[in-house]
Amino acid sequence: YVPVKGDHVIGIVTMKSGDIFKLDVAGSDQASLSFLAFEGATKKNRPNVRVGDLVYGQFIVANKDMEPELACIDGSGKANGMGVFGQDGFMFKVSLGLVRK
């Protein structure tokens, strides 16, 4: 998978490093996600994200020369369904051809 700006993806949190989360999005590089890229997040009100969580977000930076970056808010600052998924559920791997239909 090659990330494209504006694509919506589900990533698996693999690491927390300071104010940044690293997510596996099945691409060549891991994507970064700032803790401030969630609706209502502030330095005092951090989102509850743990290693292994599934996060639904949108690429805001995606080009071959930079690390991909995700956000869980749209241009107006609203989540619109993006964020950390709950503990109950399943995740399936499917082909890119099926996803893009």
Task: Summarize pLDDT for 49-58 with one digit per residue, the tens.
Answer: 999 999 999 9
| 3 state DSSP class of 3 | coil
Residue found by looking up tokens 């956000």 in the block? 71
Q: The domain containing residue 31 runs over which residues?
A: 8-99
How many domains does the chain fold into? 1
- The CATH number for 68's domain is 2.40.50.140
Is 12 part of any domain? yes
Q: 15: which strand partners?
A: 22
**Half-sphere exposure at residue 81, Cβ-oriented, CA atoms within 13 angstroms:** 4
| 3 state DSSP class of 96 | helix
What does the mean pLDDT of the chain come to? 91
- Does 75 score more than 90 pLDDT? no
pTM (predicted TM-score) = 0.88
Task: Determine how many CB atoms are found less than 10 A away from the CB of residue 86.
Answer: 8
Task: Summarize pLDDT for 31-55 with one digit per residue, the tens.
Answer: 999 999 999 999 899 999 999 999 9
- Whose CA is closest to 83, among 52, 48, 51? 48
Is 53 part of any domain? yes
